[in-house]
Homo-oligomer: A and B are copies of this chain.
């Protein structure tokens, strides 16, 4: 596992400053173990230092996202989720009926990515896609939400 000090060093190497808040926030993202909301991450940070502002958490998460250290994912439920980018690239299938989330390996998207590059000259950012739809258990029952 990549130690989080290495990641913090990447911040400084790119001219950003290494602050206690950033340290705590990055550690909280790591400890959350994936798919954590900004609010959840912030609550975790507050346990260590109750003065850290929520906007600082948001700004830091954005910085880490820009640097590629964390992934931000919009699962379609109105809140963004964050997770460390150290694991293998993967995607999500989200059932709009029961909310079930399935992982999707990247190689399923590679043919599409290749075709977009070949036919449109477009280099798609397939870093952490989310596809909405109906899962196996839900799309047999056609319409009628619970």
Interface residues of A (CB under 8 A from B): 74, 93, 95-96, 102, 104, 108-109, 111-112, 115-116, 119-126, 131-136, 139
A135/B115 in contact, CB under 8 A: no
A125/B119 in contact, CB under 8 A: no
B116/A123 in contact, CB under 8 A: no
Q: How far is the CA of A74 from the CA of B76 in the complex (A)?
A: 11
Closest CB in chain B relative to A38 CB, distance in Å: 15
Q: Main SS of chain A's interface residues? A: mixed
Q: How far is the CA of A102 from the CA of B121 in the complex (A)?
A: 11
With a cutoff of 8 Å between Cβ atoms, the chain B residues found around residue A119 in the complex are 108
With a cutoff of 8 Å between Cβ atoms, the chain B residues found around residue A111 in the complex are 111-112
Which listed residue (B95, B122, B131) contacts A116, Cβ 8 A? Answer: B131
Which listed residue (B93, B109, B115) contacts A122, Cβ 8 A? Answer: B93
